[in-house]
Amino acid sequence: MKNIFILNMPPANAEAMVHYEDTIRRKVDPARIHTLVSPSVSRKLNQVFGPRPIAVWGSRDSAANRSKYDQMKEGDEILIVVGDSIKLLGHVAAKECNPKLSRELWKNLQGGENEGWDLIYFIANPKELDVPFREFNELFGYAPHYHLRGFTRVAEANLEAFYQKYDDLYSILLLLKDGQPVREVSEPDTLKESLPPLAAPAAAEEPEKIASDHLRMQYLLLKLGLKAGGKVWAPRGDQSRIASGYKFSDFEETFAAGLDAQVKYVENIDVVWKEEFRIDAAFEVENSTSIYSGLLRFADLTMVAPNTLYPMFIVAPGERRTRVQEQLARPTFRHLHLAEKVRYLPYERVEEVDQFFEDNSRGFTVQVLVGKSEVFPTR
Protein backbone atom coordinates (compact mmCIF):
# COMPACT_ATOMS: atom_id res chain seq x y z
CA MET A 1 0.00 0.00 0.00
CA LYS A 2 1.43 3.34 -1.03
CA ASN A 3 1.86 6.08 1.55
CA ILE A 4 0.55 9.56 0.85
CA PHE A 5 2.51 12.53 2.15
CA ILE A 6 1.19 16.09 2.24
CA LEU A 7 3.22 19.28 2.38
CA ASN A 8 1.09 22.25 3.40
CA MET A 9 2.71 25.45 2.12
CA PRO A 10 1.25 28.78 3.33
CA PRO A 11 0.77 31.15 0.37
CA ALA A 12 2.25 33.99 2.44
CA ASN A 13 5.57 32.15 2.71
CA ALA A 14 7.43 34.03 -0.03
CA GLU A 15 10.62 32.01 0.36
CA ALA A 16 8.81 28.69 -0.10
CA MET A 17 6.94 30.01 -3.14
CA VAL A 18 10.20 31.13 -4.80
CA HIS A 19 11.78 27.73 -4.11
CA TYR A 20 8.68 26.01 -5.49
CA GLU A 21 9.07 27.93 -8.74
CA ASP A 22 12.81 27.16 -8.93
CA THR A 23 12.91 23.44 -8.18
CA ILE A 24 9.39 22.12 -8.78
CA ARG A 25 7.94 24.07 -11.70
CA ARG A 26 11.22 24.75 -13.52
CA LYS A 27 12.87 21.56 -12.19
CA VAL A 28 16.59 21.08 -11.74
CA ASP A 29 19.32 20.16 -14.20
CA PRO A 30 20.47 16.68 -13.11
CA ALA A 31 24.10 17.81 -13.41
CA ARG A 32 23.54 20.00 -10.31
CA ILE A 33 22.30 16.99 -8.39
CA HIS A 34 24.43 13.98 -9.32
CA THR A 35 27.72 15.34 -7.95
CA LEU A 36 26.16 16.02 -4.53
CA VAL A 37 24.19 12.82 -3.86
CA SER A 38 25.33 9.33 -2.97
CA PRO A 39 26.18 6.90 -5.79
CA SER A 40 23.10 4.79 -5.05
CA VAL A 41 20.75 7.77 -5.29
CA SER A 42 22.55 8.98 -8.41
CA ARG A 43 21.99 5.58 -10.06
CA LYS A 44 18.33 5.60 -9.09
CA LEU A 45 17.78 9.12 -10.44
CA ASN A 46 19.53 8.22 -13.67
CA GLN A 47 17.37 5.10 -13.98
CA VAL A 48 14.13 7.02 -13.41
CA PHE A 49 14.80 10.37 -15.11
CA GLY A 50 17.77 9.85 -17.42
CA PRO A 51 18.97 13.25 -18.67
CA ARG A 52 15.64 14.99 -18.01
CA PRO A 53 15.34 17.76 -15.39
CA ILE A 54 14.12 16.65 -11.98
CA ALA A 55 11.53 18.11 -9.61
CA VAL A 56 13.00 18.36 -6.11
CA TRP A 57 11.60 19.37 -2.72
CA GLY A 58 12.72 19.21 0.89
CA SER A 59 11.59 19.59 4.48
CA ARG A 60 13.27 20.74 7.69
CA ASP A 61 15.20 18.04 9.52
CA SER A 62 13.16 18.16 12.72
CA ALA A 63 12.35 15.14 14.89
CA ALA A 64 8.68 15.25 13.83
CA ASN A 65 9.51 15.49 10.12
CA ARG A 66 12.22 12.83 10.36
CA SER A 67 9.78 10.26 11.79
CA LYS A 68 7.55 10.68 8.72
CA TYR A 69 10.45 10.96 6.26
CA ASP A 70 11.86 7.64 7.47
CA GLN A 71 8.60 5.98 6.35
CA MET A 72 8.79 7.44 2.85
CA LYS A 73 9.58 4.93 0.11
CA GLU A 74 9.91 4.77 -3.65
CA GLY A 75 6.52 5.05 -5.39
CA ASP A 76 4.76 6.84 -2.51
CA GLU A 77 2.62 9.82 -3.43
CA ILE A 78 3.32 13.41 -2.43
CA LEU A 79 0.84 16.29 -2.50
CA ILE A 80 1.77 19.95 -2.19
CA VAL A 81 -1.09 22.04 -0.83
CA VAL A 82 -1.13 25.82 -1.02
CA GLY A 83 -3.88 27.44 1.01
CA ASP A 84 -7.10 25.56 0.31
CA SER A 85 -5.97 23.94 -2.97
CA ILE A 86 -3.93 20.92 -4.01
CA LYS A 87 -1.35 22.42 -6.36
CA LEU A 88 0.79 19.40 -7.20
CA LEU A 89 0.71 15.62 -7.08
CA GLY A 90 3.63 13.33 -7.85
CA HIS A 91 5.49 10.17 -6.84
CA VAL A 92 8.58 9.81 -4.67
CA ALA A 93 11.38 8.58 -6.93
CA ALA A 94 14.13 8.66 -4.31
CA LYS A 95 15.11 10.49 -1.13
CA GLU A 96 18.23 11.54 0.73
CA CYS A 97 19.04 13.67 3.76
CA ASN A 98 21.57 16.00 2.17
CA PRO A 99 22.52 19.42 3.63
CA LYS A 100 24.96 20.13 0.77
CA LEU A 101 22.30 19.69 -1.90
CA SER A 102 19.87 21.74 0.18
CA ARG A 103 22.33 24.65 0.25
CA GLU A 104 22.90 24.30 -3.48
CA LEU A 105 19.21 24.39 -4.39
CA TRP A 106 17.58 26.65 -1.83
CA LYS A 107 19.38 29.86 -0.91
CA ASN A 108 18.28 32.03 1.99
CA LEU A 109 16.50 34.96 0.34
CA GLN A 110 17.51 37.26 3.21
CA GLY A 111 21.14 36.27 2.87
CA GLY A 112 23.36 34.55 5.40
CA GLU A 113 23.13 31.03 6.76
CA ASN A 114 19.95 29.49 8.10
CA GLU A 115 18.43 26.11 8.75
CA GLY A 116 18.13 24.15 5.51
CA TRP A 117 15.55 21.83 3.96
CA ASP A 118 17.76 18.78 4.31
CA LEU A 119 15.14 15.99 4.08
CA ILE A 120 15.12 15.92 0.29
CA TYR A 121 12.81 13.95 -1.99
CA PHE A 122 12.89 13.74 -5.77
CA ILE A 123 9.45 13.85 -7.40
CA ALA A 124 8.51 11.79 -10.46
CA ASN A 125 5.42 12.45 -12.60
CA PRO A 126 4.75 15.91 -11.11
CA LYS A 127 1.31 17.08 -12.17
CA GLU A 128 0.13 20.57 -11.38
CA LEU A 129 -3.48 20.71 -10.23
CA ASP A 130 -5.92 23.19 -8.80
CA VAL A 131 -8.26 20.94 -6.84
CA PRO A 132 -9.94 22.09 -3.61
CA PHE A 133 -8.43 20.28 -0.64
CA ARG A 134 -11.93 19.53 0.62
CA GLU A 135 -12.18 16.96 -2.21
CA PHE A 136 -9.23 15.12 -0.67
CA ASN A 137 -10.84 15.34 2.77
CA GLU A 138 -14.00 13.71 1.45
CA LEU A 139 -12.06 10.86 -0.18
CA PHE A 140 -10.10 10.12 3.00
CA GLY A 141 -12.77 10.61 5.62
CA TYR A 142 -11.61 13.91 7.08
CA ALA A 143 -13.90 16.81 8.00
CA PRO A 144 -14.53 19.14 5.00
CA HIS A 145 -12.38 22.01 6.28
CA TYR A 146 -9.72 19.92 8.02
CA HIS A 147 -6.12 20.94 7.28
CA LEU A 148 -3.12 18.66 7.59
CA ARG A 149 -0.34 21.00 8.71
CA GLY A 150 3.28 21.08 7.68
CA PHE A 151 4.82 17.84 6.42
CA THR A 152 2.32 15.06 7.12
CA ARG A 153 1.73 11.39 6.36
CA VAL A 154 -1.88 10.29 5.89
CA ALA A 155 -2.84 7.92 8.70
CA GLU A 156 -2.76 4.22 7.86
CA ALA A 157 -6.43 3.66 8.74
CA ASN A 158 -7.44 6.40 6.28
CA LEU A 159 -5.17 4.92 3.60
CA GLU A 160 -6.65 1.45 4.04
CA ALA A 161 -10.21 2.80 3.83
CA PHE A 162 -9.34 4.71 0.65
CA TYR A 163 -7.64 1.80 -1.13
CA GLN A 164 -10.45 -0.58 -0.26
CA LYS A 165 -12.83 1.72 -2.10
CA TYR A 166 -10.75 3.45 -4.78
CA ASP A 167 -7.76 2.84 -7.01
CA ASP A 168 -5.52 5.66 -8.20
CA LEU A 169 -5.43 9.01 -6.38
CA TYR A 170 -3.70 10.72 -9.32
CA SER A 171 -6.45 9.80 -11.79
CA ILE A 172 -9.21 10.51 -9.28
CA LEU A 173 -7.98 14.04 -8.62
CA LEU A 174 -7.75 14.71 -12.36
CA LEU A 175 -11.31 13.45 -12.81
CA LEU A 176 -12.53 15.64 -9.97
CA LYS A 177 -10.69 18.61 -11.46
CA ASP A 178 -12.59 18.10 -14.74
CA GLY A 179 -15.93 17.46 -13.02
CA GLN A 180 -15.98 13.79 -14.11
CA PRO A 181 -17.53 10.94 -12.08
CA VAL A 182 -15.30 8.73 -9.95
CA ARG A 183 -15.94 4.98 -9.84
CA GLU A 184 -15.33 2.55 -7.00
CA VAL A 185 -13.21 -0.58 -7.26
CA SER A 186 -14.88 -3.97 -7.65
CA GLU A 187 -13.35 -7.42 -7.65
CA PRO A 188 -12.90 -9.26 -11.00
CA ASP A 189 -13.76 -12.67 -9.51
CA THR A 190 -17.00 -13.18 -11.45
CA LEU A 191 -15.99 -11.59 -14.73
CA LYS A 192 -14.68 -14.73 -16.46
CA GLU A 193 -17.83 -16.63 -15.53
CA SER A 194 -19.88 -14.36 -17.81
CA LEU A 195 -17.71 -15.05 -20.87
CA PRO A 196 -17.49 -18.22 -22.99
CA PRO A 197 -14.21 -20.13 -23.33
CA LEU A 198 -11.63 -18.64 -25.66
CA ALA A 199 -12.18 -19.72 -29.24
CA ALA A 200 -9.36 -21.34 -31.18
CA PRO A 201 -8.01 -19.56 -34.28
CA ALA A 202 -9.94 -20.26 -37.46
CA ALA A 203 -8.63 -23.17 -39.53
CA ALA A 204 -7.61 -20.88 -42.37
CA GLU A 205 -5.24 -18.97 -40.12
CA GLU A 206 -1.77 -20.45 -39.90
CA PRO A 207 -0.47 -20.55 -36.30
CA GLU A 208 3.06 -19.66 -37.44
CA LYS A 209 1.83 -16.59 -39.29
CA ILE A 210 -0.34 -15.53 -36.37
CA ALA A 211 2.63 -15.77 -34.00
CA SER A 212 4.91 -13.94 -36.44
CA ASP A 213 2.46 -11.07 -37.01
CA HIS A 214 1.78 -10.77 -33.30
CA LEU A 215 5.50 -10.59 -32.47
CA ARG A 216 6.18 -8.05 -35.20
CA MET A 217 3.38 -5.80 -33.99
CA GLN A 218 4.70 -6.00 -30.42
CA TYR A 219 8.12 -4.97 -31.72
CA LEU A 220 6.76 -1.98 -33.64
CA LEU A 221 4.78 -0.78 -30.61
CA LEU A 222 7.80 -1.19 -28.34
CA LYS A 223 9.96 0.78 -30.76
CA LEU A 224 7.33 3.54 -30.98
CA GLY A 225 7.12 3.68 -27.19
CA LEU A 226 10.81 4.52 -27.00
CA LYS A 227 10.35 7.18 -29.67
CA ALA A 228 7.61 8.70 -27.48
CA GLY A 229 10.27 9.21 -24.81
CA GLY A 230 9.03 6.62 -22.33
CA LYS A 231 9.96 3.18 -21.06
CA VAL A 232 8.47 0.02 -22.51
CA TRP A 233 7.44 -3.40 -21.31
CA ALA A 234 6.33 -6.72 -22.77
CA PRO A 235 5.51 -9.89 -20.79
CA ARG A 236 8.67 -11.64 -19.65
CA GLY A 237 7.69 -14.71 -21.64
CA ASP A 238 7.70 -12.65 -24.86
CA GLN A 239 10.85 -10.63 -24.23
CA SER A 240 13.33 -13.32 -25.29
CA ARG A 241 11.41 -14.02 -28.52
CA ILE A 242 11.29 -10.30 -29.37
CA ALA A 243 14.98 -9.94 -28.56
CA SER A 244 15.84 -12.95 -30.72
CA GLY A 245 13.64 -11.98 -33.65
CA TYR A 246 14.28 -8.21 -33.72
CA LYS A 247 17.45 -7.61 -31.65
CA PHE A 248 15.39 -5.48 -29.26
CA SER A 249 16.27 -5.53 -25.57
CA ASP A 250 15.34 -2.08 -24.22
CA PHE A 251 12.69 -3.36 -21.83
CA GLU A 252 11.89 -1.69 -18.52
CA GLU A 253 13.75 -3.65 -15.83
CA THR A 254 11.60 -2.90 -12.77
CA PHE A 255 8.09 -2.78 -14.16
CA ALA A 256 6.33 -3.08 -10.81
CA ALA A 257 7.95 -0.10 -9.07
CA GLY A 258 5.31 2.27 -7.73
CA LEU A 259 2.35 0.61 -9.46
CA ASP A 260 0.97 -1.05 -6.31
CA ALA A 261 -2.00 -3.45 -6.76
CA GLN A 262 -2.41 -2.95 -10.51
CA VAL A 263 0.76 -4.87 -11.34
CA LYS A 264 -0.60 -8.39 -11.77
CA TYR A 265 -3.29 -7.08 -14.11
CA VAL A 266 -0.85 -5.08 -16.25
CA GLU A 267 2.40 -7.02 -16.51
CA ASN A 268 0.96 -9.63 -18.92
CA ILE A 269 -0.53 -7.09 -21.33
CA ASP A 270 1.23 -7.40 -24.69
CA VAL A 271 2.87 -3.94 -24.67
CA VAL A 272 2.91 -1.23 -22.01
CA TRP A 273 4.39 2.26 -22.27
CA LYS A 274 5.55 3.86 -19.03
CA GLU A 275 6.93 7.17 -17.91
CA GLU A 276 8.64 7.00 -14.54
CA PHE A 277 5.95 5.65 -12.16
CA ARG A 278 2.92 6.03 -14.40
CA ILE A 279 1.51 4.03 -17.31
CA ASP A 280 1.15 6.02 -20.53
CA ALA A 281 -0.63 3.41 -22.68
CA ALA A 282 -1.46 -0.30 -22.86
CA PHE A 283 -1.78 -2.43 -26.02
CA GLU A 284 -3.29 -5.86 -26.58
CA VAL A 285 -2.38 -7.37 -29.97
CA GLU A 286 -5.09 -9.68 -31.34
CA ASN A 287 -4.64 -11.77 -34.50
CA SER A 288 -6.96 -14.63 -33.71
CA THR A 289 -10.74 -15.00 -33.64
CA SER A 290 -10.87 -14.60 -29.85
CA ILE A 291 -10.43 -10.78 -29.78
CA TYR A 292 -12.03 -10.67 -26.36
CA SER A 293 -9.01 -12.30 -24.70
CA GLY A 294 -7.37 -8.88 -24.88
CA LEU A 295 -10.58 -7.18 -23.80
CA LEU A 296 -10.74 -9.57 -20.86
CA ARG A 297 -7.36 -8.36 -19.61
CA PHE A 298 -8.53 -4.75 -19.98
CA ALA A 299 -11.77 -5.63 -18.20
CA ASP A 300 -9.87 -7.13 -15.26
CA LEU A 301 -7.73 -4.01 -15.10
CA THR A 302 -10.77 -1.75 -15.30
CA MET A 303 -12.42 -3.51 -12.38
CA VAL A 304 -9.45 -3.05 -10.05
CA ALA A 305 -8.51 0.38 -11.44
CA PRO A 306 -11.73 1.93 -12.79
CA ASN A 307 -10.43 5.52 -12.76
CA THR A 308 -7.26 5.10 -14.81
CA LEU A 309 -6.95 7.66 -17.59
CA TYR A 310 -4.30 6.21 -19.91
CA PRO A 311 -5.52 4.89 -23.29
CA MET A 312 -5.94 1.15 -23.87
CA PHE A 313 -5.71 -0.19 -27.41
CA ILE A 314 -6.87 -3.38 -29.09
CA VAL A 315 -4.45 -3.72 -32.00
CA ALA A 316 -5.76 -5.98 -34.77
CA PRO A 317 -5.81 -6.29 -38.58
CA GLY A 318 -8.21 -4.00 -40.44
CA GLU A 319 -10.52 -6.85 -41.38
CA ARG A 320 -11.17 -7.49 -37.68
CA ARG A 321 -12.71 -4.07 -37.00
CA THR A 322 -16.29 -5.37 -36.92
CA ARG A 323 -15.28 -8.19 -34.59
CA VAL A 324 -13.75 -5.73 -32.12
CA GLN A 325 -16.91 -3.64 -32.21
CA GLU A 326 -19.08 -6.71 -31.60
CA GLN A 327 -17.03 -7.85 -28.63
CA LEU A 328 -17.08 -4.41 -26.99
CA ALA A 329 -20.88 -4.55 -27.18
CA ARG A 330 -21.00 -7.58 -24.84
CA PRO A 331 -23.15 -6.81 -21.76
CA THR A 332 -20.27 -7.47 -19.36
CA PHE A 333 -18.00 -5.02 -21.15
CA ARG A 334 -20.80 -2.47 -21.46
CA HIS A 335 -21.37 -2.69 -17.72
CA LEU A 336 -17.70 -1.78 -17.19
CA HIS A 337 -17.93 1.13 -19.68
CA LEU A 338 -15.05 -0.53 -21.51
CA ALA A 339 -15.99 0.99 -24.87
CA GLU A 340 -15.29 4.43 -23.37
CA LYS A 341 -11.74 3.40 -22.48
CA VAL A 342 -10.61 0.93 -25.16
CA ARG A 343 -9.69 2.07 -28.66
CA TYR A 344 -9.33 0.00 -31.83
CA LEU A 345 -5.99 0.51 -33.60
CA PRO A 346 -5.52 -1.29 -36.95
CA TYR A 347 -2.21 -2.93 -37.81
CA GLU A 348 -2.10 -0.73 -40.90
CA ARG A 349 -2.12 2.46 -38.81
CA VAL A 350 0.71 1.23 -36.59
CA GLU A 351 2.80 0.46 -39.67
CA GLU A 352 1.95 3.84 -41.18
CA VAL A 353 3.03 5.70 -38.03
CA ASP A 354 6.19 3.61 -37.72
CA GLN A 355 7.19 4.46 -41.30
CA PHE A 356 6.41 8.16 -40.87
CA PHE A 357 8.56 8.44 -37.74
CA GLU A 358 11.25 6.03 -38.91
CA ASP A 359 14.01 8.66 -39.06
CA ASN A 360 12.58 11.34 -36.78
CA SER A 361 10.64 11.03 -33.55
CA ARG A 362 10.09 14.78 -33.15
CA GLY A 363 6.48 15.47 -32.19
CA PHE A 364 5.60 11.83 -31.60
CA THR A 365 3.49 11.05 -28.50
CA VAL A 366 0.81 8.54 -27.63
CA GLN A 367 -1.72 11.09 -28.86
CA VAL A 368 -0.61 10.32 -32.43
CA LEU A 369 -1.89 6.76 -31.98
CA VAL A 370 -5.02 8.02 -30.25
CA GLY A 371 -5.69 10.09 -33.37
CA LYS A 372 -5.16 7.04 -35.59
CA SER A 373 -7.46 4.81 -33.53
CA GLU A 374 -11.22 4.50 -33.17
CA VAL A 375 -13.73 4.16 -30.34
CA PHE A 376 -17.09 2.40 -30.56
CA PRO A 377 -19.58 4.09 -28.22
CA THR A 378 -22.31 1.76 -27.03
CA ARG A 379 -25.87 2.72 -26.22
Q: Looking at residue 277, what is its pLDDT?
A: 81
Range picked from 66-75, 178-187, 358-367 for highest mean pLDDT? 66-75
Q: Is the pLDDT score of 259 beyond 70?
A: no
| Whole-number percent of the chain with pLDDT over 90 | 50
Q: Looking at residue 206, what is its pLDDT?
A: 52
Mean pLDDT is lowest, of 87-91, 231-235, 239-243, 307-311, for: 307-311
Q: Is the pLDDT score of 189 beyond 80?
A: no
d(CA 71, CA 73): 6
Residue 355 identity: Q
d(CA 330, CA 90): 37
Q: Looking at residue 258, what is its pLDDT?
A: 52
d(CA 123, CA 57): 8
d(CA 116, CA 61): 8
Q: Is the pLDDT score of 261 beyond 60?
A: no
Phi and psi at 51, nearest 5°, equal -85, 0
Q: Is the pLDDT score of 264 beyond 80?
A: no
Mean pLDDT of the chain: 86
pLDDT tens track for 129-180: 889 999 999 999 888 888 778 899 999 999 999 988 888 888 898 888 888 8
Helix axes 207-227, 236-246, angle to 10 degrees: 90
Q: What is the pTM of this model?
A: 0.81
Position with higher pLDDT, 259 vs 353 = 353
Mean pLDDT is lowest, of 25-34, 199-208, 227-236, 332-341, for: 199-208
Residue 150 identity: G
d(CA 219, CA 214): 9
pLDDT tens track for 230-258: 889 999 889 999 999 999 999 987 766 55
d(CA 170, CA 187): 21
Q: Domains plus CATH for the chain?
A: 4-177 (3.10.590), 192-372 (no CATH)
d(CA 8, CA 151): 7
Chain mean position to CA 302: 14
Position with higher pLDDT, 288 vs 301 = 301
Assign 204 a pLDDT band (cuts: 50, 70, 90).
very low
